[in-house]
Amino acid sequence: MNFELMIKNVMTPLIAVAAAWLARKVPFIDAATWSGWIDAFFTAVTTGVLAYFNRPSNIIDAAGKQDGTVVVTTPAVANALPANPDVIASTPQLNAAVKAAKTDV
């Protein structure tokens, strides 16, 4: 289990809810307008942060960090993650070996 990605995905909305709740305690305009603006702002920020955390390269990197896992991906993504030796680029030879292994089963 990858706790790094899980913590990011759980904590981001919780922090946004807490910040929105605190922001409602100091309204500068009527409560309904203030509440709507705060909700919209924090929803947008939370969506943006989660989109950043869940980029395909982050998910591939997180999967590659798990014990006994090797991730085969595109050369572009593999080259973008040089620090993770368990993320490798797909090659014609590797694809042929995978297809051969599938037919053996």
14 and 49 co-located in one domain: yes
7 and 45 co-located in one domain: yes
7 and 49 co-located in one domain: yes
Residue 10 lies in a domain: yes
Task: Give the predicted TM-score (pTM) of the model.
Answer: 0.49
Expressed as residue numbers, the domain containing 45 is 3-54
pLDDT in tens, 58-85: 778 877 888 888 888 888 888 888 888 8
17: Cβ–Cβ under 8 A, 6 or more apart, which residues?
42
48 and 75 co-located in one domain: no
**Residue 44: predicted pLDDT:** 92
42 and 76 co-located in one domain: no
**How far is residue 47's CA from residue 67's CA, in Å, rounded to a whole number?**
30
Q: Are strands 71-73 and 87-89 parallel, antiparallel or unpaired?
A: parallel
